[in-house]
Amino acid sequence: MMQHKYQPELIVNARDFHEVEMLILAGADIIEIGHQSFGLRTLGDINLEDINRATSLAHKHGKQIRVLVNAIFNNSRINEVKEYLNALNEIRVDAVVISDPAILTLIKEMQFDIPLHWNPETLGTNTQTLKFWVKRGIERVSVSNELSLESIEKINKELSVPIDIQVQGMTNIFQSKRNLVKNYYNHIDEALKTNSAYYIRQPKEEPGTYPVYEDTNGTHIMSKEDLCMIEYIPAILARSISGLKINGFLQSKENHISNTKIYRTAIDQSLENKVIDTNYFKKLKYLIIKSQDKDRSLGTGFYFKEQIY
Supply φ then ψ for residue 24, to 5 degrees: -60, -45
Q: Which of residues 7-36 bind other proteins (CB under 8 A)?
A: none
Stretch of 61-69, 142-150, 226-234, 239-247 lying at the interface with other proteins (CB under 8 A): 142-150
Stretch of 60-68, 95-103, 231-239, 273-281 lying at the interface with other proteins (CB under 8 A): 95-103
3-state secondary structure of 174: strand
213 binds other proteins (CB under 8 A): no
160 binds other proteins (CB under 8 A): no
Please work out, in degrees rounded to the nearest 5, the angle formed at the alpha carbon of residue 144 by the alpha carbons of 138 and 147: 130
3-state secondary structure of 112: coil
In angstroms, the CA 181 to CA 127 distance is 36
Q: Which of residues 168-187 bind other proteins (CB under 8 A)?
A: 173-181, 183-184, 186-187
CB of 206 to other proteins, least distance (A): 10
Secondary structure element (H or E) that encloses residue 300, with its range? none
Distances, alpha carbon 201 to alpha carbons 117, 205, 211, 270, in Å:
34, 7, 9, 38
302 binds other proteins (CB under 8 A): yes
Q: Which of 36, 209, 297, 300 binds other proteins (CB under 8 A)?
A: 209
Q: Which of residues 54-83 bind other proteins (CB under 8 A)?
A: 72-78
Distances, alpha carbon 210 to alpha carbons 120, 236, 293, in Å:
22, 27, 14
Q: Which is nearer to other proteins, 22 or 167 (CB)?
A: 167
CB of 232 to other proteins, least distance (A): 20
Q: Which is nearer to other proteins, 151 or 240 (CB)?
A: 151
Q: Which is nearer to other proteins, 198 or 303 (CB)?
A: 198
Stretch of 15-23, 90-98, 167-175, 283-291 lying at the interface with other proteins (CB under 8 A): 167-175
Q: Which of residues 215-274 bind other proteins (CB under 8 A)?
A: 218, 221, 223-224
The answer for residues whose C-beta is within 8 angstroms of residue 270's C-beta and 6 or more apart is 233, 234, 237, 276
Instruction: Give the number of residues in contact with other proteins, rule: CB under 8 A.
Output: 72
CB of 252 to other proteins, least distance (A): 14
Q: Which of residues 107-136 bind other proteins (CB under 8 A)?
A: 121-123, 125-129, 131-133
Q: Which of 208, 216, 273, 277 binds other proteins (CB under 8 A)?
A: 208
Contact 9, 243 (CB under 8 A): yes
157 binds other proteins (CB under 8 A): no
Stretch of 30-38, 45-53, 110-118, 141-149 lying at the interface with other proteins (CB under 8 A): 141-149
Contact 125, 146 (CB under 8 A): yes
The contacts found for 128-132 with CB under 8 angstroms, 24 or more apart, are 130/155, 130/159, 130/163, 131/158, 131/159
211 binds other proteins (CB under 8 A): yes
In angstroms, the CA 2 to CA 167 distance is 22
CB of 123 to other proteins, least distance (A): 6
3-state secondary structure of 67: strand
Q: Which is nearer to other proteins, 20 or 250 (CB)?
A: 250
DSSP letters for 21-34: HHHHHHT-SEEEE-
218-222 and 210-215: which strand pairing?
antiparallel
199 binds other proteins (CB under 8 A): yes
